[in-house]
Amino acid sequence: MALAVAPGMAAAQTDVTRTDASHTDTPKPPASQAAKTNPPAPTAAPAKPATRTVDAITVTGATPDVQRSIDRQSYTLGKDLAATTGSIGDALRNLPAVEVDPQGTLSLRGDSNVTILVDGKPSPMFEGAGRADALQQLPADQIERVEVITNPSAALNPEGTGGIINLITKKSRGAGVTGSAYVTAASAGLKRAGVNVGYNSPKLAITGSVAGNYQHIKVHGDDARAGFDAASGQFLRSDDLFSGRNLTRGPTARLSVTYTPQDKDQFTAAASYSELLVQGHPFDRLETDGPDGAPVSLFTRLGERRFLETDNSITAGWKHSFSEGQDLSVSGAYNDGLGRDHRLYANTAIVPVTPIPFEFQRGDLSNHHAELTAAYSQKSLWGGALNAGYELKREDNDSNYAELMGPTPSALAVQPNRANHYLYYQLVNALYATYQHSFGDLDAQAGLRVEDVRFTFAQLTSGERDGQRYQRAYPSLHLAYKLDDDRKLNGSYSVRVQRPPSFILNPLVQVNDPQSTQVGNPHLKVKEVQIYELGYQQRAWGQDFQANLYYRDAHHEFSIFQSEIAPGVFQTTFANVGASTALGVDFNASGKLTSTLSYSASLSPYNGHIDASNLGIGEGSRTLWAVGGRVNLNWQVRPDDMIQFNAIQQGAHIGTQGVFEPSFTLNMGWRHKFNDRLTATVTGQDLLASNDFRHKTDAPILREALIVRPVFRQVFFRLDYRFGGGAAKARDPGFEYENGGPAPGPG
């Protein structure tokens, strides 16, 4: 199976991690005329004392399920049964424009280069090659809302050509001590449990959570490839029939504190820890055929794998208010992620009958991220709102891969020709400013960000060193025009980038298995995308309708492609293609069909175009038309019982070589409230066992049919118990990344 991954990390060949496809909520129409809010500095807003409650069951108060501002949409997960019983990937999968495929790859409108934040800050668990595992394994219980920002303003980090997803964690609400506890079990061996506790006083707010996850994962699939053999004039077949059985477990913990000694000053701090342990037994049957169809190579590999990733994050901030609407804030964050992926393979040769030694692969990765932000906002400057700031970001990565071979597991010797050790360092200095002003019914926000970026890449094994330094300017423009109380037009423009991650810069060949190698490209250019959006919103007959047209024009698009470098051996490498474009429209509708039946639905036709003729691999200019969509139904059978139905069609997407084929998922769920403290939830995911991953290539030099079938279909059961008291009616938590306060509705 030829998937491009970081050396030795969790998304490796035969251990494709299971995704829990489950259910999500049906958004209700937003409030008809919420107060408009101008954007302050792009730092995570501190928790507000005595306004939130830890509640793993439902979101209380007057917060609409969908909130909108000039540059984003925010979705409340309080009624989302996937967010109750499933993983973060399950909760995200059912949001409009968001896709999470069976391998855990997240994309927005077909672009997988998406920045994931937690409370407005980077999180180590969602960076690097371990991100797919984190999305599929970490419970979504601690997430209250999700902000989807498809065309961010210049105040936000330009990294992420697909956009930004900001996960807003639950904070304490109400007076005194409040909290909840839950336990989840599933038919496929999953077990989860957790406790959320909060304390609030007039000056101090504390939220803490601890959770644990234990899960059995099964996956099987087939990667059938064929390279063109010039001597025989045929495509010669190579096949990897693989399966995997994994046991995953790990704790997560989070603590946040807000201290407000006086009205003008507020101090915040937060810390989180997560651990993911994967122990598995990957199995591969590898066959390469000759011109006559008979195997010239046939052997099996049975592995023992132990993968451990630990992630830590610390943030702190101070905010001072000079006057009403005039604030200065300083915040910092430090993240580190440590990954250890160790695999021992026993190889059995069938054709030819020659001994193949035991093989031990060791991949160790250490990532460090630090950032400092100083921001100033003034909401009444020349009749508008100014938001300006400075950001300093530093990345430091250390990747060390080694391989040992021998006749027995106790007699392994280091293979110097397989070593691969590199260091990566990046420093970003950025200045930004946005200004928002209202001209009657027209709201306009213009912004500009200027960045100086430099990075160095040191390949310690080969002695090679590379680096780049460049400056870029990133403008943005967002417009919202109110036609009347029920109709609104909006438009936006921004420039986004994708910087090459360290592992695809590595110029040294990495051997993944006897049929697959990988080599990076240290000379990759930064991918730059111009994004245009035009939207229309209308409320009619008690329903909410949206249509959002988008166009992305990318230059120096990153290309991942394969070529056969020896009979039956395929190498994955990276290059910049000439250009690519994406044109699509998202149609969304939501509302109530009856007093007890609500719905949300979306339909997303899409056109993708890519020009890879500059690569010389026989792939020229190609175009793909596809469509995706989803339907959600919520039936409030009685006041204490809700039934949820969810169907998702993930559309096809174009690649440099081949097409990622569509997939379909059907889920259902039921929630029963015994009393104000005890609630039970039952969900069934992937009821038709139809959620799989397929990629097909039919090119002049390569043919491939890859299919990955994780075992998704299962039933979840969960109990939630609330404790504590003194909870007041919830106050709208508003947006917590750049925009502080509730978003305006469609009116």
CA distance 369 to 355: 45
CA distance 219 to 684: 19
Give pLDDT tens digits for 228-249.
988 888 999 999 999 999 999 9
Residue 550: closest CA among 531, 569, 563, 536:
531
CA distance 82 to 638: 21
CA distance 267 to 260: 6
CA distance 331 to 347: 52
Give pLDDT tens digits for 548-603.
999 999 998 888 888 889 888 999 999 888 789 999 999 999 999 999 999 999 99
What burial class does residue 405 get, using C-beta atoms within 10 Å of its C-beta: 0-12 exposed, 13-18 middle, 19+ buried?
middle
Pairing type for strands 597-611 and 384-406 reads unpaired
Give pLDDT tens digits for 501-548.
888 899 999 988 888 999 999 989 999 999 999 999 999 988 999 999
What burial class does residue 323 get, using C-beta atoms within 10 Å of its C-beta: 0-12 exposed, 13-18 middle, 19+ buried?
exposed
What burial class does residue 746 get, using C-beta atoms within 10 Å of its C-beta: 0-12 exposed, 13-18 middle, 19+ buried?
buried
Q: How many H-runs (helices) and E-runs (strands) does the chain carry?
A: 3, 40
CA distance 129 to 49: 37
Q: Where in the chain are the domains? A: 215-240+274-712
Residue 276 vs residues 187, 363, 506: alpha-carbon distances, Å? 21, 16, 26
CA distance 150 to 160: 10
Residue 181: closest CA among 730, 725, 733, 718:
718
CA distance 160 to 496: 7
CA distance 537 to 588: 9
Question: Residue type for 119, please?
Answer: D
Three-class SS of residue 615? helix
The CB-side HSE value for 624 (13 A sphere, CA atoms) comes to 20
194 and 211 in contact (C-beta within 8 Å)? yes
4 and 574 in contact (C-beta within 8 Å)? yes
pLDDT of residue 12: 33
pLDDT-derived band at 28, boundaries 50, 70, 90:
very low
Question: Residue type for 363, please?
Answer: G
Residue 450 pLDDT more than 90?
yes
pLDDT of residue 134: 76
Residue 189 vs residues 183, 218, 248, 541, 551: alpha-carbon distances, Å? 13, 11, 11, 46, 43
Take residue 395 and report the two structure tokens written for it.
Answer: 């990345």
- Please enumerate in sequence order all residues whose Cβ is within 8 A of that of 588, keeping only pairs 6 or more positions apart, or say none: 96, 544, 545, 546, 547, 548, 600, 601, 602
Give pLDDT tens digits for 260-276.
998 899 999 999 999 98
pTM score:
0.83
Residue 376: closest CA among 323, 329, 444:
329
The mean per-residue pLDDT over the stretch 102-119 comes to 85
CA 283 to chain centre: 28
Question: Residue type for 209, please?
Answer: S
CA distance 433 to 377: 10
Residue 737 pLDDT more than 60?
no
The mean per-residue pLDDT over the stretch 7-28 comes to 36
325 and 378 in contact (C-beta within 8 Å)? yes
Take residue 713 and report the two structure tokens written for it.
Answer: 């279909």
User: Picking from 36-50, 85-99, 222-236, 408-422, which range would have the lowest pLDDT averaged per residue?
Assistant: 36-50
pLDDT-derived band at 119, boundaries 50, 70, 90:
confident
Residue 44 pLDDT more than 70?
no
Residue 421: closest CA among 367, 460, 455:
460
Give pLDDT tens digits for 64-90.
477 888 888 888 876 767 667 777 888
155 and 447 in contact (C-beta within 8 Å)? yes
CA distance 485 to 540: 11
Residue with tokens 């990495």: 510
pLDDT of residue 326: 92
What is the chain's alpha carbon radius of gyration, rounded to the nearest angstrom?
26
Instruction: Give the H/E segment covering residue 91.
Output: helix 88-93
Q: Is the model more confident about 6 or about 123?
A: 123
Instruction: Give the H/E segment covering residue 92.
Output: helix 88-93
pLDDT-derived band at 343, boundaries 50, 70, 90:
very high
Residue 717: closest CA among 206, 123, 185, 287:
185
Q: How many residues does the chain have?
A: 747
As a whole-number percent, the residues of the chain with pLDDT over 90 amount to 56
CA distance 359 to 304: 11
Which superfamily, per CATH, for 215-240+274-712?
Answer: TonB-dependent receptor, beta-barrel domain (2.40.170.20)
Question: Residue type for 73, please?
Answer: Q
Pairing type for strands 114-118 and 163-169 reads parallel
CB count, 10 Å around CB of 704? 21
Residue 42: closest CA among 94, 108, 115:
115
What burial class does residue 40 get, using C-beta atoms within 10 Å of its C-beta: 0-12 exposed, 13-18 middle, 19+ buried?
buried
User: Picking from 184-198, 241-255, 727-741, which range would have the lowest pLDDT averaged per residue?
Assistant: 727-741
CB count, 10 Å around CB of 718? 25
Q: What's phi and psi for 618, nearest 5 deg? A: 85, -5
pLDDT-derived band at 43, boundaries 50, 70, 90:
very low
Residue 271: closest CA among 227, 219, 333:
333
Q: Which residues sit opposite 410 in a β-bridge?
A: none
Q: Which residues sit opposite 107 in a β-bridge?
A: 99
As a whole-number percent, the residues of the chain with pLDDT over 70 amount to 87
Q: Is the model more confident about 117 or about 620?
A: 117
Residue 268: closest CA among 257, 279, 277, 284:
257
The CA angle 363-367-368, to the nearest 5 degrees, is: 160
CA distance 524 to 507: 11
**DSSP symbols for 472-515:** EEEEEEEEEEEEETTEEEEEEEEEEEEPPPGGGT--S-EEEETT
Residue 467 vs residues 36, 371, 455, 486, 683: alpha-carbon distances, Å? 45, 21, 5, 53, 50
Residue 25: closest CA among 69, 84, 101:
84
20 and 90 in contact (C-beta within 8 Å)? yes
Residue 300 pLDDT more than 60?
yes
**DSSP symbols for 7-26:** TTSTT-TT-PPP--------
Sign of the CA dihedral running 673, 679, 684, 685: positive
CB count, 10 Å around CB of 663? 20
